[in-house]
A and B are shown apart, each in its own frame.
Chain A
Amino acid sequence: MNATKTLIYDGSFNGFLTAIFVAFDEKSQIADIQKNSASQNGLFSEPETIFTQMDKAKRVWNGIHKKSHNAIKDIYFAFLSENKGIELVLYRYICKLFAANTSIASDYSDDIVLKTSQLARSVGREKHRMEAFVRFQLTKDEIYFANIEPDFDVLPLISKHFRSRYADQQWLIYDIKRKYGIFYDLNQVEVVSLDLDEIHTNSLNKSAHFGDEEYNYQDLWNNYFKSTNIKSRINLKLHKQHVPKRYWKYLSEKKVV
Chain B
Amino acid sequence: MSLSFDRIKEKLNILADAAKYDVSCSSSGSVRKNNSKGLGDSSGMGICHSYTEDGRCVSLLKILLTNHCIFDCAYCVTRKSNDVQRAAFKIQEVVDLTINFYRRNYIEGLFLSSGIFKSPDYTMERLVAVAKKLRLEENFNGYIHLKSIPGASDELMREAGLYADRLSVNIEIPTISGLKLLAPDKKHEDFTKPMLKVKNEIIQYKSEKKIIKSTPKYAPAGQSTQMIVGATGESDKDIMYSATHYYKNYNMKRVYYSGYVPVAEDNRLPAIGTQVPMLRENRLYQTDWLLRFYGFGVQELLNNDHPNLDMDVDPKLGWALRNMQYFPVDINKADKSVLARVPGLGMKSVHKIINARKFRNLNWEHLQKIGVALNRAKYFIICDSNKWDHSDMEGTKVKGLILQNSVGKFRKEYSNQLQLFS
CB distance A128 to B47 under 8 Å? yes
**Set B9, B54, B56, B278: member contacting A223, Cβ < 8 A:** B9
Q: Which residues of B contact A109 (CB under 8 A)?
A: 356, 359-360, 362, 366, 369-370
A132 within 8 A of B: yes
Given A166-B39, A168-B38, A133 contacting B49 (CB threshold 8 A): yes
A38 within 8 A of B: no
Q: Which of B6-43 contact A (CB under 8 A)?
A: 8-9, 12-13, 16-17, 19-21, 33-34, 37-41, 43
**B45 nearest CB across to chain A (Å):** 9
With CB as the reference atom, state the residue of chain B lying closest to A241: B55
CA distance A235 to B8 in the complex (A): 29
B422 within 8 A of A: no
CB distance A227 to B17 under 8 Å? yes
Quick one: which of B9, B38, B49 has the most chain A CB within 10 A? B49
B2 within 8 A of A: yes
B293 within 8 A of A: no
B48 within 8 A of A: yes
CB distance B356 to A106 under 8 Å? yes
**Set B37, B97, B105, B360: member contacting A220, Cβ < 8 A:** B97
Q: Which residues of A contact B180 (CB under 8 A)?
A: none
CB distance B362 to A169 under 8 Å? no
B421 within 8 A of A: no
Q: Which residues of A contact B39 (CB under 8 A)?
A: 166-169
Q: Which of A4-12, A15-23, A40-48, A210-218 binds B?
A: A210-218
A252 within 8 A of B: yes
CB distance B5 to A216 under 8 Å? yes
With CB as the reference atom, state the residue of chain B lying closest to A231: B54
> How many residues belonging to A are interface residues under a CB distance threshold of 8 Å?
54
Q: Which residues of A contact B53 (CB under 8 A)?
A: 229, 234-236, 239
CB distance A239 to B54 under 8 Å? yes
Q: Which residues of B contact A216 (CB under 8 A)?
A: 1-2, 5
B139 within 8 A of A: yes
B104 within 8 A of A: yes
Q: Which residues of A contact B49 (CB under 8 A)?
A: 132-133
A131 within 8 A of B: yes
**A252 nearest CB across to chain B (Å):** 7
CB distance B20 to A229 under 8 Å? yes
CB distance B16 to A228 under 8 Å? yes
CA distance A186 to B139 in the complex (A): 16
With CB as the reference atom, state the residue of chain B lying closest to A216: B5
Quick one: which of B1, B139, B275 has the most chain A CB within 10 A? B1
> How many residues belonging to B are interface residues under a CB distance threshold of 8 Å?
58
B299 within 8 A of A: no
**Set A135, A227, A230, A239: member contacting B105, Cβ < 8 A:** A135
CA distance A228 to B62 in the complex (A): 8
B249 within 8 A of A: no
Interface SS of chain B: helix, strand, loop or mixed? loop
CA distance A144 to B39 in the complex (A): 13
Q: Which residues of A contact B278 (CB under 8 A)?
A: 233
Q: Which residues of B contact A108 (CB under 8 A)?
A: 352, 355-356, 369-370
Given A106-B352, A220-B9, A242 contacting B55 (CB threshold 8 A): yes
**B32 nearest CB across to chain A (Å):** 11
CA distance A174 to B18 in the complex (A): 37
CA distance A234 to B261 in the complex (A): 12
With CB as the reference atom, state the residue of chain A lying closest to B36: A167
CB distance B276 to A233 under 8 Å? yes
CB distance A229 to B52 under 8 Å? yes
CA distance A108 to B371 in the complex (A): 10
CB distance A230 to B54 under 8 Å? yes
Q: Which residues of A contact B41 (CB under 8 A)?
A: 164-165, 167
Q: Which of B235-272 contact A (CB under 8 A)?
A: 259, 261
With CB as the reference atom, state the residue of chain A lying closest to B275: A232
CB distance A227 to B13 under 8 Å? yes
**A211 nearest CB across to chain B (Å):** 9
CA distance A161 to B40 in the complex (A): 10
A81 within 8 A of B: no
A204 within 8 A of B: no
Quick one: which of A221, A236, A238 has the most chain B CB within 10 A? A221
With CB as the reference atom, state the residue of chain B lying closest to A131: B47
B69 within 8 A of A: no
CB distance B355 to A217 under 8 Å? no
CA distance A217 to B105 in the complex (A): 12
With CB as the reference atom, state the residue of chain B lying closest to A211: B2
**A101 nearest CB across to chain B (Å):** 12
CA distance A238 to B48 in the complex (A): 14
Q: Which residues of A contact B47 (CB under 8 A)?
A: 128, 131-132
B103 within 8 A of A: yes
**B315 nearest CB across to chain A (Å):** 21
**Set A132, A223, A238: member contacting B13, Cβ < 8 A:** A223
**Set A102, A164, A166: member contacting B103, Cβ < 8 A:** A166
**Can you give 21 contacting A-B residue pairs, CB < 8 Å?**
A107-B359, A108-B370, A109-B366, A132-B47, A133-B49, A136-B105, A144-B104, A166-B103, A168-B37, A168-B38, A213-B1, A213-B2, A219-B9, A220-B12, A227-B13, A228-B17, A229-B52, A230-B21, A233-B259, A236-B53, A252-B106
Tell me the B residues contacting A by CB distance below 8 Å: 1-2, 5, 8-9, 12-13, 16-17, 19-21, 33-34, 37-41, 43-44, 47-58, 61-62, 97, 100-101, 103-106, 139, 259, 261, 275-276, 278, 352, 355-356, 358-360, 362, 366, 369-370
Tell me the A residues contacting B by CB distance below 8 Å: 102, 104, 106-110, 114, 128, 131-138, 144, 146, 161, 164-169, 212-213, 216-217, 219-221, 223-225, 227-236, 238-239, 241-243, 251-253
Task: Kindly list the 4 A-B residue pairs having the minimum CB-CB distance in the complex, ordered from nearest.
Answer: A238-B55, A106-B355, A233-B54, A242-B51
13 new A-B contacts at CB < 8 Å, known A161-B44, A167-B39, A228-B52 = A109-B369, A166-B39, A168-B38, A169-B103, A213-B1, A220-B8, A225-B52, A227-B12, A227-B16, A233-B55, A239-B55, A241-B55, A243-B51
